[in-house]
Structure 1
Amino acid sequence: MANKLHIVSLGCTKNLVDTEVMMGKLQNFELTDAQDEADVIIVNTCGFIDAAKEESINTVLSLHDTRKEDSVLVMAGCLSERYKEDLANQMPEVDIFTGVGDYDRIDELLQEKKSRFSDKVFLIDGSERVVTGSSYHAYIKLSEGCNQACSFCAIPSFKGKLNSRNLDSIAKEIEGLVKKGYYDFSFVSQDSSSYLRDQNIKDGLSLLIQRVELIDEVKSARILYLYPSTTTILLLKNIAKSKIFHNYFDMPIQHINDEMLSMMKRGFGKDKTTQLLDFMRSLPNSFVRTSFIVGHPNETEEMFEEMCEFASSFGFDRINVFSYSDEETTPAFDMSKKISNELIASRAQKLGDIASEATKKSLQNEIGRKIELIINGESDEHEYLLSARESIWAPEIDGEIYVNDRVKDEDLEFGKIYKAKVTELVGDILTATVDNA
């Protein structure tokens, strides 16, 4: 068996967890950043929207161009699953294709050197992972698939219906990671607020919160990807009562105009959506993140302006902006009144500017506050600046804080939680002084 592995994970954090499972099955390989030295190259692809599909294909072809002779190139994940027949015919560069059901069998696929697409839903249940990117934080996947029918989303067509992990499986995984020194966790799935609904349990996240709080040494947690029509005020109250889970609310609402929300098949209209958002915002030390889609078929200028006004006035801490992607197998694909690419790009630019301003206001509101932060290491900016993030923030996506001073003359440890005071905003990065260990 070959002994050097180069692996690339594209797309979302859920994909990252699956990539870490493959790494766990291939620990007899030596990881290398040099693709031209690798004996095995794996790309875990994303097939969500056009830009992600293009990135996945270009990444695979680029790696093929530089790989060494007799190496094995594997294309795994969502794009492979979604277009399995087409890719097998059109990409002879790839040696092995596999989808979303065989991450824990990647070692078998390499030994057999053949493609496989299992029908089974892969849920982590005892699979060992090699957690990447942090010595203290890990993502925990709650489920696979989705029961929603959003007009623009093709994911249920290749990921299937909701399949939740049971609480014991999740608790066991966290307990294993705690033993390795991990104490901060982000819980992810396609629709986290539907967790356990496939098992006829309405408020599975509240049960999850109770279960995680029983695990010693878990100090910090947040839930990503709430869905409006499956998020309840009771759930938000249970998050707020928790001593471990932050008041971190990531609920992609996609639009705010009632007619457009109906066309998008989002389940809730403007009034109920804003009720949830207002309650989130009212909670102490809350952090509210959302996403919007611009350019969905039939989106009028008035609908777009209503979304811009709401995005500007509500007080979101972070906003993601996505341009509509016309995806086959989705209801929106067959809709009339498509928006031109030029107009979509123009609207995305305008809403993106609003999103940047929202982030700036949120960061300015931090100045002078006392916070908890976690130091990740030295910054890229200067050797005397340390890179940190506020403990409530999700890694990678919510920003970076530079620690430029401390009250006590002690060395600060990486991966440790400190209390600090935010001092100023330099560009789009906060600075802070650690005031006690």
Structure 2
Amino acid sequence: MGKRVGMISLGCAKNQVNAEQMLYRLQQAGYTLQEDVDGADLVIVNTCGFIDSAKSEAIDNILAMGALKQEGRIGRLLVTGCLSQRYQDEILQEMPEVDGVLGTGSYDDIVSVADRLLNGGETVSEFGDIDAPADEAGRVLTTPQHYAYIKIAEGCNNFCAFCIIPHLRGRYRSRAVEDILQEARGLAESGVKELIVVAQDTSRYGTDLYGAPRLPLLLHELCRIEGFHWIRVHYLYPDMITDELLDTFASEPKLVNYMDIPIQHVNDAILRRMNRRGTRAELDEMLQKLRSRLPDAVIRTSLITGLPGEGEAEFEELCTWLRENKLERVGAFVFSPEDGTPAAKMEHADEEVAQRRAEIIAELQSRIMDAYNAARVGTVMEVLCEGEEPETGRCFGRTYADSPDIDGRVLFSAARSVVPGEFVMVRITGAEDGDLVGEMEENA
């Protein structure tokens, strides 16, 4: 039987790194990787199982692959990632089109599982230890060549009351500094210009392995690697944003002042119920320190509406806080009661109410974003070019304030050809549907 493999990877960047490691192992074992799943002997759906919307997306993709399989357009179907870890038995029982499931503790078994699926025709179910040391493997990059994610730890110890991740990904396990640096050097040599540092909680990096937080040290070391122009960090928990970490950002030019800080809510009673560390007062103090130390910092956060304990007063407190603090990037999600989490058993806001609250935050945030964009007009910003719009001929790219796929873009005209991965200086002239618009500086 042939050994052509196609993959659909869903969910977060951390999951994408696991997908890239699986593709590398398969390629090394002689499998042919193809971008389009059509005609593949094996299709892997690497799933997210975090909240209802992610589960629905995963199931839709599995069913779509099942339809292709029924038509004889693909061979075997393997489901990996968080959904398979969460619903180990149910997937095979309720979705007969699936030939195998692989858990989050078994990514390094991908080749043997693929071989068994293609050679034996059997149904495979493989679930290893989710608390095993973080996997060290090569990767086949699925991002554009100019940026890549690097995962510095696996799992999570935070056990927020609403989150199932520690049960799907295991305890927090940091990778060794040397292993991360070796991988990063390889990425730089392959042409990566922007390195995006990820983990469930990057700010806790090293606490398990070295007995103390080592993120500042790691970031200093990453900044010494030639080739990287930007280094971006995601998922810094508020209680771990120390003076040392802020000093690291302030002192390293390659570190972009983009702080991704998931806060979820600001009401103290809700934070306690959610098993979040810290209080609103501590959050305010941290933000004040951050703003004074890094005046050009762009802060991204995620919020949840409809959390257990959120009434009108608590929601209004959150809205007032957002109006006062004007965070530049805010995503609001409706609370999803997840089986197996403490919050699922708590009384929470009606889903329609929670949905409306998420819409109110989106409206409020769009005004904050409009003001942020308006303040950029007339300034010159460094932009990482990502491509060209064929219909308009304009180039598009991102500033330090924009992470791939989740934030905005800059659309700009250029008098010369600009290639993806090139950094150029752009004079901002306006905004269009939430994106910035500008003209490349000729002498840049």
- Pair in the same fold by TM > 0.5: yes
**Are residue 298 (structure 1) and residue 298 (structure 2) matched?**
no
Aligned partner of 1:385 in structure 2 is 394
**Are residue 170 (structure 1) and residue 162 (structure 2) matched?**
no
- Corresponding residue to 2:254 among 228, 238, 244: 244
CA contact (8 A) 1:375 1:414 kept: yes
Aligned partner of 2:120 in structure 1 is none
Aligned partner of 1:156 in structure 2 is 166
Corresponding residue SS for 2:338: coil
Shift of 1:71: 0.4
Aligned partner of 1:317 in structure 2 is 328
CA contact (8 A) 2:2 2:41 kept: yes
Shift of 1:312: 2.3
Corresponding residue SS for 2:126: coil
Shift of 1:183: 2.2
Q: Which TM-score applies when normalising by structure 2? A: 0.93
- Corresponding residue to 2:144 among 97, 117, 134: 134
Corresponding residue SS for 2:414: strand
Residue type of the alignment partner of 1:150: C
Deviations 1:155-212 (A, max 9, x none): 1112111000011010000111111111210101111101111124322111111211
CA contact (8 A) 1:101 1:122 kept: no
Shift of 1:12: 0.6
Within 1, Cα distance between the matches of 2:376 and 2:31? 44
Aligned partner of 2:47 in structure 1 is 45
Corresponding residue SS for 1:182: coil
- Corresponding residue to 2:417 among 406, 411, 421: 411
Aligned partner of 2:405 in structure 1 is 396
**Are residue 18 (structure 1) and residue 18 (structure 2) matched?**
yes
Shift of 1:30: 4.0
CA contact (8 A) 2:395 2:414 kept: no
CA contact (8 A) 1:205 1:235 kept: yes
How many residues are matched? 431
- Corresponding residue to 2:436 among 416, 430, 434: 430
Corresponding residue SS for 2:308: coil
Corresponding residue SS for 2:7: strand
Residue type of the alignment partner of 1:84: Q
Residue type of the alignment partner of 1:15: N
Aligned partner of 2:381 in structure 1 is 371
Aligned partner of 2:57 in structure 1 is 55
Shift of 1:33: 4.8
Aligned partner of 1:420 in structure 2 is 426
Shift of 1:251: 0.2
CA contact (8 A) 2:92 2:99 kept: no
Within 2, Cα distance between the matches of 1:213 and 1:13? 21
Within 1, Cα distance between the matches of 2:12 and 2:408? 17
- Corresponding residue to 2:104 among 100, 110, 128: 100
**Are residue 330 (structure 1) and residue 341 (structure 2) matched?**
yes
Shift of 1:362: 2.0
Corresponding residue SS for 1:320: strand
**Are residue 87 (structure 1) and residue 91 (structure 2) matched?**
yes
Point out the more displaced range, 231-240 or 296-305: 231-240
Shift of 1:90: 1.7
Corresponding residue SS for 1:235: helix
Identity over aligned residues, as a percent?
A: 34
Shift of 1:265: 1.3
- Corresponding residue to 1:289 among 286, 297, 300: 300
Corresponding residue SS for 2:208: helix
Shift of 1:344: 1.2
- Corresponding residue to 2:365 among 355, 360, 369: 355
Residue type of the alignment partner of 2:54: A
CA contact (8 A) 2:157 2:171 kept: yes
Point out the more displaced range, 45-54 or 105-114: 105-114
Shift of 1:141: 0.4
Provide structure 1 residue ranges, at least 5 long, that are not aligned to the other structure: none
Aligned partner of 1:341 in structure 2 is 351
Within 1, Cα distance between the matches of 2:125 and 2:89? 11
Within 2, Cα distance between the matches of 1:108 and 1:76? 14
Residue type of the alignment partner of 1:46: C
Residue type of the alignment partner of 1:427: D
CA contact (8 A) 2:4 2:41 kept: yes
Over 3 Å counting, the alpha-carbon distance change for 1:144 and 1:171 in structure 2 is same
Within 2, Cα distance between the matches of 1:359 and 1:33? 36
Corresponding residue SS for 2:200: coil
Shift of 1:103: 2.2
Within 1, Cα distance between the matches of 2:411 and 2:135? 36
Q: Which TM-score applies when normalising by structure 1? A: 0.94
Shift of 1:411: 2.5
CA contact (8 A) 2:193 2:421 kept: no
Within 2, Cα distance between the matches of 1:391 and 1:346? 31
